[in-house]
Structure 1
């Protein structure tokens, strides 16, 4: 039964159906990535709606999108589950990243504008600040932002969407396993090498730096999962 306006939440009264869907999607995805919704946990649409202060419809639509992203799955007669952590899955994601991201960074190196190069430098600066206080969530989110800027810099929307999905699927493993301070310093160094190559428009160096970055992630994840 459709709810009357009196039953609408505050969020629903001030946003469009499209923005509600996007809000629900981004909020639930953030909770999955940061393990607020834990791997293997069953999530109930009614409870999620209540926690987020959103209606059942945008939450249901968000979960459908997250299924396509590979973050949740439906178990017959049981419900919706946050996809459990699997070493095979993350290794497959990394394998795909090694096939796609080195080629993508060559495009980004050739096509990035001054604003994007400046944004990458700003991200590295903020990441150093959060690394100093060991805020894993903020470092993870900045890692995501760094790669999203590079994806947009390819000037290829299809490729950028593929890169976004791959990277976001790998972030849970980042959050679960990569708590070592030394590794965070390595990530900063690797991002710095990528940025230097992009700034210098050196596609070969950028590709090599990206490969080292992804291989480093694979080696670290393999030790923890």
Structure 2
């Protein structure tokens, strides 16, 4: 950006406002993930529009996208409902996570920059505080950040995109898993073990730590569903 006459770069232009369609999508998605709208619950355009203070057109467009995400579905005589969580879906998700995230951890152990390892350690430290306070929204945000940072550290954009989609799909069941308060601290401890393996550049240990973390999540979720 060229400087102005005073020799200073002009201020950056403000970001464009988020579209109503995007706003509706994010608001509905967040309520589904946090189980404010529970699995199997019917959602009408009129009720959702009123609850969010948005028009029916952006809500309808958001529903189309949420259907593609697998968060809502259309049933005869019921209309749009929040898609139920099934044991089969959890099993399939865990199988794919074990395969892809284990490989991702191996790459991250070899390629992660020192500042990335420091960021992961800071994430774990914040997680200790959130777990002590039973702060589920913060724990979920930290988990998303933690796994996203490892995905980026692997240095494989194709794998990163696969994992981003997988993690977004897993968020709702993550919230269900965290209804078990004892699981809060286990998650943070498991993250700490992953960071320790990455810091040691031990690819085998990193893979095993990630797989143990995913299996712990799966075992806890089975008790919740």
TM-score range normalised by the length of the shorter chain: 0.7 to 0.9
1:78/1:159 CA distance change after superposition, 3 Å:
same
User: TM-score normalised to the size of structure 1?
Assistant: 0.83
Alignment-derived partner of residue 49 in structure 2: 49
Alignment-derived partner of residue 101 in structure 1: 101
1:131/1:123 CA distance change after superposition, 3 Å:
same
Report the Cα distance in structure 1 between the residues aligned to 2:22 and 2:207, rounded to whole angstroms: 33
Gaps of 5+ in 1: 1-13
User: TM-score normalised to the size of structure 2?
Assistant: 0.83
Report the Cα distance in structure 2 between the residues aligned to 1:72 and 1:145, rounded to whole angstroms: 25
Q: Give 1:18 shift.
A: 6.1
- RMSD between aligned alpha carbons? 2.3
- Which digits, 9 at most, give the CA deviation of each residue in 1:195-216, with x for residues without a partner? 1122232221111111111111
Say if 2:39 and 2:83, in contact at 8 Å, map to a contact too.
yes
The ranges of structure 1 where at least 4 consecutive aligned residues each deviate by more than 6 angstroms after the TM superposition are none
Alignment-derived partner of residue 86 in structure 2: 86
Say if 1:17 and 1:58, in contact at 8 Å, map to a contact too.
no
Gaps of 5+ in 2: 1-13
Q: Give 1:61 shift.
A: 2.8
Report the Cα distance in structure 1 between the residues aligned to 2:72 and 2:87, rounded to whole angstroms: 16
Q: Give 1:160 shift.
A: 1.9
Report the Cα distance in structure 2 between the residues aligned to 1:159 and 1:54, rounded to whole angstroms: 36
Say if 1:109 and 1:203, in contact at 8 Å, map to a contact too.
yes
- Which digits, 9 at most, give the CA deviation of each residue in 1:60-115, with x for residues without a partner? 33222222221111224432111112122111111111121101222223333334
